[in-house]
Amino acid sequence: MKYLQIANLALLALGLTLTVVVAVECLIYAIYLDADPMINRQLPELLGFTVVLGAFSFASFLAFAGHRAHWRARWVTQLLPLAGLVGSIATLVALRG
């Protein structure tokens, strides 16, 4: 079961890295908010995507913590990162279209 913990930690690291990168991009957008009207329109979508990535990171943490602490519902928590990943992909598809 160590492989499952490693996979959960890898998903957590991926989620945290993406969240931090997109949060920094949000900060840059906020600094240059008055520079271009398009930035003003894109900032709420970018903030929403940051929240979705944060939720994915939190779901990955719950999966790792549940498995590590032998929670009774630890196998249910293993599905949470999958739901977060699907939500992230759906958000990206919606932003692109």
pLDDT, tens only, 65-89 = 999 998 898 888 999 999 999 999 9
Helix/strand/coil for 3: helix
User: Could you count the other beta carbons within 10 Å of the beta carbon of residue 19?
Assistant: 20
Range 11-14, long-range pairs (CB < 8 A, 24+ positions): 11/56, 11/60, 11/63, 11/81, 11/85, 12/57, 12/60, 12/61, 12/64, 14/60
Specify the DSSP class assigned to residue 30: H
Residue 27 has pLDDT above 90, yes or no: yes
Domain total in the chain: 1
Q: Domain of 7? A: 2-96
pLDDT of residue 83: 92
Whole-angstrom distance, CA of residue 46 vs CA of residue 39? 10
